[in-house]
Structure 1
Amino acid sequence: MSGAPVQRHYTVDDIVAITRRYWGIAELRPLQQEAISAGVSRRDSLVVLPTGGGKSLCYQVPPVLDQRTDVVVSPLISLMKDQVDRLRSLGYPAAALHSQLTSAAASESLRELAEGRCRLLFVSPERLLQPALLERLERCGVSAFAIDEAHCISHWGHDFRPEYRNLQTLRSRFPEASLHAYTATATPRVQADIVEQLRLVDPAILVGTFDRPNLIYRVVPRGDLVQQVLETIGRHAGEAVIVYCISRNDTEELARFLEARNVRAAFYHAGMEGAGRRSVQDRFAAREIDVIVATVAFGMGIDRADIRCVIHAAGPKSIEHYQQETGRAGRDGLPAECVLFYSPADTKRWESLIEKNARETPGTDPRAVSHLVSLVGHVRRFATAYTCRHKLLSEYFGQAYNRGPCGACDVCLGEVRGQEDGTVTAQQIISCVARVGERFGVGHVTDVLLGEDSERIRQLGHDRLSTYGLLKDAPRKWLQRCVFQLVDQELLTREGDEYPILRLNAASWEVLRGQRAVQLPSRPEQQARRSRKSAKQAAARVSVTSQSRAGPLPPGSDRETRPARPTSASPPPDEVEGDVDAGLFESLRELRREFAQRTGVPAYVIFHDRTLRDLARRRPTTIAGLRRIRGVGHRKASYLGQAFVDRIAAYCRQHALEPDVILSEPTDLRRYAERRSRGGEARARAFEMFERGAPVEEVSAALQRAVSTVWGYLNEFVSERRPESISAWVPPQTQRLIEEAVRVVGMGPLRPIQEQIGGQCPWPEIKLVLTHLRATRAASRDARDES
């Protein structure tokens, strides 16, 4: 039992004062306050937040707020080193103990611990449980243990590690200390097991949303893999990309292929020496490498928020792995793409690897092997389903998804075309399963439906069944895929481990009675007809460096081909958070790079891209103004601040930009209200001029406001006043071009629209046309409601 929780009377303001001081953060993310409060009050907790959800802040704040010593259990040395380096750069007293430390460095960490100068000690589970270190920690009076990657303690998790099981001894060894488990991926079953294994007492259970709305999920049938990967990377030229492979050889071969085609790529896997792995991580963090081709070991220690694409060159081992690996994309909140190149062979490959590992590991529990194989099956269901990917992921982790079409996956974007009403085919398959007595697997049922002339079928008398040869003209692979689709849609049940058989369930009978319609993959000949329609488009694809973010997608994917993005196109405004000057942003990135090289740390340790964007949007020219920016703490303001505000001031003078833009954004509600009143008198004058049809440049000159700011006023004007026409600002022919693109790709982010029209229109004009379309539709709805 842990001791009674010590009640600490810290307010939200107290917590924010600490986050502001060290991290320059004035706003907490969902559940961070509750998790920090549990840590401060020494109440056991289980915190489940998605990758990028801010877990680390939850265990970093309590020890400095309460002036005490806590321990973080972390599975990877790279993760420990990155976190300690970053915390120390912020002036936070942190240390680590791991095998790569010199004896002098390890002694210094222990000295800081003994003298009470260390607030947070990072250590691996194996090192933590060494008797000598446990005795030191007892003498130091450790207040809390934070167990990161806590799913590793559960047999039902996707990454069980036996050494984590031994952490349950912490409860008896440190009865007064609280235990806090942190993970990004845990189903309800795994959550319950974590609580039980760690012996948490009355824990605060804090589970955030698993959905990452800024991630665009795509599943593409694997064909010419290296070309497919090359095309996808081409859509993100110059951006950070991670490619995940199953084997070490795969990573090396693919990385060398990319390097030979002038892609700044490197491979990373557990078979490399520590120095080699560290070098790759450091070069990636320093922006010297754009693409990492890795096994699943890569990424846990990387704190790079601007990864724009995660590619799976093969199916992942589990949905948990997929959620964690794709979760490394878009941690800055901006759109990012996640592409899975899938083949049914991936399932068999993972099953073989799991079984091989079990044979080579004495004492492996057969139930654990069966569980891991079942996790692979969930990946197959995810990859072959015709359901919103965001919905599938949320529901897998036990959360409802009721938002309708997400607009951020291949299914909801209408890119998955290979499906049709397959009710009759489903009835034929289910009928065959019933007639063979529900005693056979997918292979045998397929043979019967195809009318195979085999001795086994004749011996069983299955050649005399009414379903024998019922689908004799169907391609075998397509038919097997249909059977698996029925299993995945829970219209058939597949039972057994070594030799699974098919059985009917209640839903099967609904299909047989015609009470339920079924969607199944289209037959290949029907897909081929669609492919021929777009053959000319496919043949006209441009070079990989000019491929668009949304496409063209690889041959065989049954998806529409989209035009290429011009290489000179700059990011759309909706992807850089408002009135960000692209030139200033790049200038600040260059300054950050200089500091990173000078101090020998990764660029993100200086400032994240998100902080630089905010600087380029608000353009502070004083240290006081700089401190109001998220991500700028006191220490960074003191030793980096003057250089950055000088660079901003010089740029604003050179380009006639308004400096020190005042924008507060404490809450979504206040941000909404603030946008409606931004600029006060200037905004009102702009509206008056827009009523007369004044051009943007004229309004900009009259108000002495940046053109980008005036475009913002104009969008608000169109949204609120709903003018019948916007021809004063966007030529009619341009409007028609944009509207036609919207009919094809929808009214989502601007980038796909720009790509659809071949980069012919300025971003502000596209955004204004979208605003006008939304305003017109809103006016029509209002009119219907009133009638």
Structure 2
Amino acid sequence: MSIAEQANEILHSVFGYKSFRNQQLPIIESVIRGEDNVVIIPTGGGKSLCYQIPALILPGTTVVISPLIALMKDQVDQLLAYGIKAAYLNGSQSPQEQQFVANLYIQGEIKLLYIAPERLATSTFINMLKSVAPSLIAIDEAHCISQWGHDFRPEYLQIGQLKAKFSAVPIIALTATADDVTRKDIIERLNLDKPQVRLTSFDRPNIRYTVVERLNPLEQVSSFLTNQKGNSGIIYCSSRAKVDDMASRLANRGYSVAAYHAGLTTQERANAQERFLKDDVAIMVATVAFGMGINKPNVRFVIHANAPRTIEAYYQETGRAGRDGLPAEAILLNNERDFNWYQTVIAEKEEGFHKSVELHKLSEMIAFTQAQTCRRIVLLNYFGEHRVEKCNNCDVCLYPLEHYNGLVDAQKILSCVYRVGQNYGTQYLVDVLRGSNRSSIKENGHNTLSVYGIGKEHSADYWTSIIRQLIHLGYLKQDPTSFSALFLSEEARNVLRGDISLSLVKPRLELVKRTRQNRYARSINQTTILSYEERSLFNNLKRLRKEIADMDDVAPYIIFSDESLLEMVKTQPESKRELLGITGVGKIKLEKYGELFLDEIEKFITAN
């Protein structure tokens, strides 16, 4: 039997998939031939099969270097559910447990062994590998070894020694995000031998990208979540304090949330992650410390309450949505303050190439948020994938920017700035324009000005957005030494006199409202493609899946993915043979769970 035939048989019978994708088969064939490989496949694109299938074909054990101890159990649980012998070795285990796993490895009783990169620093482990060499070494999240990668980890540098010590063992390095300079750095630091570089499309067509101006993040997030009942998602904030604040406020509004950041204890983080993976909480509010390697396929949305620093980070984090290929949302709440802070941090660093690269990557991220062309085109071209066709699944394509004659609005704002003495910040100016009753306005006598209340027809968010545009256009400036007080530039005279026409962008408040309409929510709620009766079956299958998962102490998606359940609902199989044709149903899972799911489907058919 050829390698391709063996690989296809494992794909069908073990993993329950119908066909390979994203160059998986040529990668598998290359690995089994003993060649080194660098594989860049987007999140959800099937990277793990590129080393898991070779592990089952090759003799001996495959060693997988994975970045986070907390994820190893999840990865091993998934393999065990497929009937594959796998284990992990890390510091969370007792010495007796570690010795037990080591003995399994030495005796050849496991096909895949997951370890953290720190394990390579121990002579005991290296000696164990020398006594029984692995058949393959897989390095997950390989961008962590590169200082040009967006998530460089010093402990990954130890991996570079492996090629010298195990020259005959093929190495496969895998990541979802690596630009050209990062890919070259990975190859150099891993000392790979003429590796095959496999670069597939970075496109995630099922993800809708949306960038909106951040005005009131809690209200904007809450507005979006209104239509997300039962959906799983991640909300990223830039600091621990912001995570705690957002999580607390959402919990007070009745949302099912957990918080995750480096300020929590290891146990607290592990508990939060486990509750999220097991669908015990729907929403994870986190810093970027959360998410790498998360295999949860049914994340329907990722919200960035603060902008990431690089496009690589943004792509990696948004890629945690829709791993199952079903529709998902990526929402970015954009505010220039985030980028001003990043620029300040980078400016304090030592001059050199590394600093210039960071500034370049930050400017590319800023350009992405300001783009007036298709978001997907910008993303793909950044990664060297030339694309000119619009995606029709991002905010720019779906909701083109609306311009209007903003001269009168600008004159109201500039006049207000002038009449209050050019000594106050944005919020105060907005309050004067809208006729606020705040005591400081009355104390300053500004409630008697001609500009007091002339903007009451619009919301505070509306005026804040217009003020920001006037700052960007250079008509208003801010004094950083005086609480960001606004003052007029020389160019503002032309606006006040009405000597020029002024085209402004209509504030995207309409878009925020539209997120509450069914048209917008439809893209992230896969059950809308089902009839009322089918949704009932889908929910029953989800309930059954959760009950089994709780008994097995695993995440529900390890039993079956949402994609598998939807296919069951649409085809309604009545026999094990028909159930075996469902995506994700292999022979082991068929024997374990087949009768239970067939019984649930039969009940539905009988009742309807």
TM-score, normalisation: structure 2: 0.81
Q: Residue 114 of structure 1: which of 100, 106, 109 is its match?
A: 106
How far, CA to CA, are the matches of 2:80 and 2:514 in structure 1? 49
CA contact under 8 A between 2:514 and 2:520: conserved in structure 1? no
- Between the aligned partners of 2:264 and 2:137, the Cα distance in structure 1 is 31
Determine the C-alpha separation between the residues in 2 that align with 1:30 and 1:577: 29
What residue number does 2:75 align with?
83
Corresponding residue number in structure 2 for 1:647: 600
> How far is the alpha carbon of 1:53 from its aligned partner?
0.6
The residue matched to 2:197 in structure 1 has which SS? strand
In the alignment, which residue of structure 1 is the partner of 2:546?
593
Partner of 1:338: 330
Provide the C-alpha distance between the structure 2 equivalents of 1:377 and 1:577, rounded to a whole number of angstroms: 43
**C-alpha deviation, 1:577, in angstroms:** 8.3
From the superposition, tell whether residues 365 and 632 of structure 1 become closer, same or farther in structure 2 (CA, over 3 Å): farther
Query: What residue identity is the alignment partner of 2:215?
Result: G
Q: CA deviation at 1:376?
A: 1.9
The aligned counterpart of 1:24 is 16
Corresponding residue SS for 1:243: strand
Amino acid at match of 2:103: R
Q: Which residue of 1 aligns with 2:511?
A: 553
- Distance in 1, matches of 2:316 and 2:232, equals 17
Q: Is the 8 A contact 1:42 1:143 kept in 2?
A: no
- Alignment correspondent of 2:448: none
Quick one: which of 223, 226, 229 aligns to 2:221?
229
Please give the alpha-carbon distance, in whole angstroms, between the structure 1 residues aligned to 2:321 and 2:514. Answer: 24
- Give the structure 1 partner of residue 122 of structure 2: 130
CA distances 1:489-513 after superposition (whole Å, capped 9, x unpaired):
xxxxxxxxxxxxxxxxxxxxxxxxx
Query: What amino acid does structure 2 have at the position aligned with 1:335?
Result: P
Q: Give the equivalent residue in structure 1 for 2:210.
A: 218
Shift of 1:350: 2.3
Aligned-residue sequence identity (percent) comes to 35
What does residue 581 of structure 1 align with? 534
- Within 5 Å, give how 1:486-505 maps onto structure 2: none
Provide the rounded CA distance (Å) in 1 between the counterparts of 2:63 and 2:523.
Answer: 45
Evaluate the alpha carbon distance shift between residue 36 and residue 480 of structure 1 in structure 2; reply closer, same or farther with a 3 A threshold.
farther
Q: Is the 8 A contact 1:45 1:179 kept in 2?
A: yes
Alpha-carbon shift at residue 118 of structure 1 (Å): 1.6
Equivalent pair of 1:580/1:614 in contact (CA under 8 Å): no
Give 2:482's aligned residue: none
The residue that corresponds to 2:369 in the other structure is: 383
Pair 1:573–1:636, CA change in 2 (3 A)? closer
For 1:144, the equivalent position in structure 2 comes to 136
Three-state SS of the structure 2 residue aligned to 1:406 is: coil
Give the Å deviation of 1:367: 3.3
Distance 1:113 1:563 in 2: 53
Partner of 1:46, secondary structure, is strand
Does the aligned pair in 2 maintain the 1:95–1:118 contact within 8 Å?
yes
**Structure 1 residues 28 and 289: CA distance shift in structure 2, 3 A:** same
Q: What's the CA shift for 1:127?
A: 0.8
- Correspondence for 2:312 among 320, 328, 349: 320
Question: 1:372 aligned to 2:358?
Answer: yes
Q: Per-residue CA shift, 1:545-572, capped at 9, x if unaligned?
A: xxxxxxx533xxxxx8477339999998
| Pairing partner for 1:252 from 219, 244, 248 | 244
Deviations 1:240-281 (A, max 9, x none): 111001101110100000000001111111221122112111
| Cα RMSD (Å) | 2.9
Deviation string for 1:682-711 (max 9, x for gaps)?
A: xxxxxxxxxxxxxxxxxxxxxxxxxxxxxx
The 3 A distance-change label for structure 1 pair 572 and 242 is closer
Partners in 2 of 1:580 and 1:629 — Cα distance? 20
Structure 1 contact 248–271 (Cα < 8 Å) conserved: yes
Change (3 A) 1:149 1:256: same
Matched, 1:266 2:258: yes
* Equivalent pair of 1:78/1:301 in contact (CA under 8 Å): no
Aligned to 2:394: 409
Q: Distance in 2 between matches of 1:301 and 1:207?
A: 19
Give the partner amino acid of 1:410: D
RCO comparison, higher one (Cα < 8 Å, 6+):
2
Q: Distance in 1 between matches of 2:62 and 2:524?
A: 43
CA deviations 1:123-154 (Å, max 9, x no partner) are 11111232211110111121221111111122
Contact 1:146–1:182, Cα closer than 8 Å, also in 2: yes
How far apart are 1:122 and its partner, in Å?
1.0
Q: Displacement of 1:238 after TM fit?
A: 2.2
2:573 to 605, 616, 620: 620
Structure 1 residues without counterparts, runs of 5 or longer? 1-8, 359-363, 422-474, 484-522, 539-551, 555-559, 656-787
**Alignment of 1:192 onto 2:201:** no
2:137 counterpart letter in structure 1:
F
The alignment of Structure 1 onto Structure 2 pairs a total of residues equal to 524
Structure 1 pair 146–628 and aligned structure 2 pair: CA distance change class (3 A): same
1:393-426 deviation digits (Å, cap 9, x = unpaired): 0000011113x221111111134325999xxxxx
Which amino acid in 2 is paired with 1:367?
Answer: F
**Which secondary structure state, in structure 1, belongs to the residue aligned with residue 511 of structure 2?**
coil
Answer yes or no: is the 8 Å Cα contact 1:418–1:527 preserved in 2.
yes
2:405–2:502 contact (8 Å) kept in structure 1: no
- Mapping for residues 41-52 of structure 1, pairs under 5 Å: 41-52=33-44
Distance 1:567 1:393 in 2: 22
Q: CA deviation at 1:20?
A: 2.4
- Is the partner of 1:180 in helix, strand or coil? strand
Q: CA deviation at 1:479?
A: 6.1
Separation in 1, partners of 2:155, 2:354? 16
* Structure label with greater radius of gyration: 1
Distance 1:567 1:399 in 2: 28
Contact preservation (8 Å) 1:580, 1:616: no
- Code of the residue aligned with 2:304 in structure 1: it is H
Kept in 2: contact 1:285–1:602 (CA 8 A): yes
Residue deviations 1:293-340, cap 9 Å, x none? 101121224222111111000110210010010001111212111110
Amino acid of the structure 2 residue aligned with 1:553 = L
Secondary structure of 2:39's partner? strand
Shift, 1:166, TM fit = 2.6
Among candidates 472, 483, 486, match of residue 481 of structure 1: 472
> After superposition, what is the alpha-carbon deviation per residue over 1:704-756, rounded to whole angstroms, capped at 9, x for unaligned?
xxxxxxxxxxxxxxxxxxxxxxxxxxxxxxxxxxxxxxxxxxxxxxxxxxxxx
The offset of 1:576, in angstroms, is 4.4
Q: Give yes or no for contact 2:223–2:516 (8 Å, CA) kept in 1.
A: no
TM-score w.r.t. structure 1 length? 0.63
Matched, 1:204 2:196: yes
Q: 1:294 aligns with which of 274, 279, 286?
A: 286
Q: Following superposition of structure 1 onto structure 2, how do residues 531-542 of structure 1 map, counting pairs within 5 Å?
A: none
How far 1:354 moved relative to its partner? Answer: 4.9
Amino acid at match of 2:396: V
Q: 1:480 to 1:280 in 2, by over 3 A?
A: same
Alignment CA distance shift 1:10-1:418 (3 Å):
farther
Cα distance in 2 between the residues matched to 1:253 and 1:259: 10
Contact between 1:281 and 1:302, CA under 8 Å: does it hold in 2? no
C-alpha spacing 1:35/1:526, structure 2 compared with 1 (3 Å): same
Give the C-alpha shift of residue 573 in structure 1.
7.9
Q: Distance in 2 between matches of 1:279 and 1:649?
A: 37
